[in-house]
Structure 1
Amino acid sequence: MSSRNRKKVTALLAGLCALAPATPALAHHALGGSLPMRFETGLLSGLAHPIINFDHFAFVAAVGVFAAVTQASKLLPLWFVLGTVAGCLFTVAGLVIPLDVWLVHGALLALGLALALGKPRMPVFDTAAFAVAGMLHGSVYAEAIVGTVSSSLGGYLVGFTIIQMLVASGAMFAAYALWCGDRLYASARIIGGVVAGVGLTVLIQTGVSALFPALA
């Protein structure tokens, strides 16, 4: 990647990173804060959730880039998405993961650092780690659906499964198509640095919100 293109990528991603502090206001609802009560409204909420919540979007896209840069299995995004479905169902069933929001933001920071530092390939560990990370994300996703009816829950699961697979797989194949060889690794390091920045930003946000609820 040329110096000029690298600067463009960095500027674009840094600009997106700057949007992270605004995401809590939109964090879990595409329907103005109301619970979806039909399949189609659940589907809409599921499709929108990983997009309007930037830290989730950054993680899902980074999963695809990670799979490309480490030459991992192309099924890695699927394992992550299946994990989100499981995490959502666990939470709806009352099995809440403690500190899930903190863990999700910590996972985002860890993934960004893994990309930025050029983590070596560890196939079994990576698959397990992304499935667990998916469960954490699914637990947080479920906050938008707890208390609704089963038909809208089904729509929600279908929606966020579709959108996550599109984002993660799209990012993976885009990385393969746009970059090759050293350019893939160099670009992934830039993206990883920005993703780590998003993770650190939302972790700080979460800490400030916990210490000073009036500022949330």
Structure 2
Amino acid sequence: MTFAFFLKRALPALTLAALSFSAAAHVGDAHDHGGLLTGFLHPITGLDHLAAMLAVGVWSAMTTKRLWVAPVSFAALLLAGALMAQAGVAFPAIEPMIAASMLVVGLLLAAQVKLPEAAGAVLVGAFALFHGAAHGQELADGAALAGMVLGTAVLHAVGIGMGLGLKRADHWLPRVAGGVVALMGLNMGWSLLAG
């Protein structure tokens, strides 16, 4: 994909998707969802989670040598957040924190910010707790939680692969992708404020 093609075809579609993205109301949508497949599909079918998890993988691949550290932290703390929510721990401002995660990770990717690996792992891990709390309120059993972690790992692996590919491509593509994720976070935050 050339940069010109991206500007003409993909960027307008991604921008429209980002701007039309509304707040995904995870909290309060606690249906009795269970099973490995349900859990696996849960992070993949939510645009907010999908964008954040892919962006973590892309950013990690593009800015660190041990590209697995931040994604492993995210997946581990995602599970911790889900288990804490299921145990009754109340997380404040889950949806705003999910919006903030998209904004921050999108900006990190757009600016190609290189953080020490431990700092990056702590940052994305803190956001992962809130993503996990959102999922934990919706998924009912251990198989669903295992599927959620597996789906997250797959998204991170895809993001890492995309990041490695983008390292060899036009240097503006990851910056534009990060900008789109950041716009999605801003739009979600705005929707939450307006709603």
Q: TM-score range by the shorter chain?
A: 0.7 to 0.9
Contact 1:14-1:194 within 8 A present in 2 as well = yes
Unaligned stretches of 5+ residues in structure 2: none
Alpha-carbon distance in 2 for matches of 1:19, 1:158: 31
Question: Is 2:65 aligned against 1:78?
Answer: no
Amino acid at match of 2:49: H
Give the CA deviation at 1:18. Answer: 4.4
Within-5 A mapping of 1:5-44: 5-21=6-22, 24=24, 27=26, 34-36=31-33, 41-44=34-37
Within-5 A mapping of 1:49-68: 49-68=42-61
Alpha-carbon distance in 1 for matches of 2:84, 2:191: 26
Contact 1:102-1:206 within 8 A present in 2 as well = yes
Give the CA deviation at 1:77. Answer: 1.2
Q: How many corresponding residue pairs?
A: 193
Q: Which residue of 1 aligns with 2:137?
A: 143
Within-5 A mapping of 1:72-151: 72-75=65-68, 76-145=70-139, 148=140
Give the CA deviation at 1:80. Answer: 0.5
Question: Is 2:167 aligned against 1:180?
Answer: yes
Q: Structure 1 residue runs of 4+, over 6 Å off?
A: none
- Could you state the TM-score of these two structures normalised by the residue count of structure 2? 0.87
Q: Look up the SS of the partner of 1:121 in the other structure.
A: coil
Unaligned stretches of 5+ residues in structure 1: 210-216
Amino acid at match of 2:178: G
Give the CA deviation at 1:19. Answer: 5.0
Contact 2:107-2:178 within 8 A present in 1 as well = yes
User: For residues 187-212 of structure 1, what are the alpha-carbon distances to aligned partners after superposition, in whole Å with 9 as ceiling and x for unaligned?
Assistant: 11100110011001111111122xxx
User: Does the C-alpha gap of structure 1 residues 170 and 193 become closer, same or farther in structure 2, counting only changes over 3 Å?
Assistant: same
Give the CA deviation at 1:4. Answer: 2.5
2:186 to 200, 203, 210: 200
User: For residues 122-155 of structure 1, what are the alpha-carbon distances to aligned partners after superposition, in whole Å with 9 as ceiling and x for unaligned?
Assistant: 222101111111111101111203xx4xxxx111
Q: Look up the SS of the partner of 1:35 in the other structure.
A: coil
- Could you state the TM-score of these two structures normalised by the residue count of structure 1? 0.79
User: Does the C-alpha gap of structure 1 residues 90 and 34 become closer, same or farther in structure 2, counting only changes over 3 Å?
Assistant: closer
Give the CA deviation at 1:182. Answer: 6.6
The higher radius of gyration belongs to 1
Contact 1:118-1:189 within 8 A present in 2 as well = yes
Q: Look up the SS of the partner of 2:55 in the other structure.
A: helix
Give the CA deviation at 1:15. Answer: 4.0
Q: RMSD in angstroms over aligned alpha carbons? A: 2.3
User: For residues 13-60 of structure 1, what are the alpha-carbon distances to aligned partners after superposition, in whole Å with 9 as ceiling and x for unaligned?
Assistant: 224324522x637x579xx97413xxxx33233122212221111101
Q: Look up the SS of the partner of 2:73 in the other structure.
A: helix
